[in-house]
């Protein structure tokens, strides 16, 4: 008895960026002129949050992350120190990018907290994760709000706080 070996070739839709056809759910498309790779989102009935395509970032992607980020109080890669008054609240950053990472250190009297906030936005929903270590309990609370165009990272505190933060990357 002999075994049958079958070799198959998978082809990806390809063409000029402007000429790529609509892609089915999970189907890949390669833009020959811009060197961009796309995947079809599928339909709303299948559970996709939106129809169309999503670009898959590659080494040849020309996405300028810093151009997609709009900040209220600082720019990507710069460090900002803010003195927060007792019983205060406000916005640290407002962004239109799909992802943002905020690294921070805050001091309240002798207590210190160092952390990383990872924000991910899709349409009008934003999720965030705040991972931190602290030498004592602080009362600074972060929150995220979103609408269809941007998300905001806000804070509230009842204790005077020094907050050093940096928008360090957009993965």
Statement: residue 71 has pLDDT above 50: no
Q: What is the per-residue DSSP string for the chain?
A: ------------EEE-GGGPPPPPTT-EEEETTT--EEEE---TTTT-SSSSEEEEP-TT----GGGG---SS--TT-EEEEEEPTTEEEEEEEE-SSEEEEEEEEEETTEEEEEEEEEEEETTEEEEEEEEEESS----EEEEEE-SS-EEEEEEESS-EEEEEEEEE--
Map out the domains of the chain with their CATH numbers: 13-62 (no CATH), 66-169 (2.60.40.1680)
Predicted model pTM: 0.51
Average pLDDT over residues 129-142: 89
Task: Place 75 in a pLDDT band, splitting at 50, 70 and 90.
Answer: very low
64 pLDDT above the threshold of 70: no
């Amino acid at each position: 008895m002999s075994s049958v070996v079958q070799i198959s070739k998978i082809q990806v839709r390809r063409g000029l960026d402007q000429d790529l056809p609509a892609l089915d759910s999970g189907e890949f498309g390669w833009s020959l002129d811009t060197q961009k790779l796309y995947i079809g989102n599928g339909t709303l009935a299948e559970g996709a949050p939106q129809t169309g395509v999503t670009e898959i970032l590659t080494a040849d992607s020309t996405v300028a992350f810093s151009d997609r980020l709009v900040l209220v109080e600082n720019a990507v890669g710069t460090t900002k120190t803010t003195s927060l008054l007792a019983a205060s609240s406000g916005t640290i950053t407002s962004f239109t990018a799909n992802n943002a990472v905020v690294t921070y250190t805050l001091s309240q009297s002798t207590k210190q907290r160092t952390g990383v906030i990872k924000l991910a936005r899709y349409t009008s929903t934003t999720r965030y994760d705040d991972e931190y270590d602290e030498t004592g309990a602080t009362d600074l609370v972060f929150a995220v709000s979103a609408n269809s165009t941007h998300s905001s990272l806000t804070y509230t505190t009842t204790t005077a706080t020094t907050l050093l933060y940096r928008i360090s990357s957009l993965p």
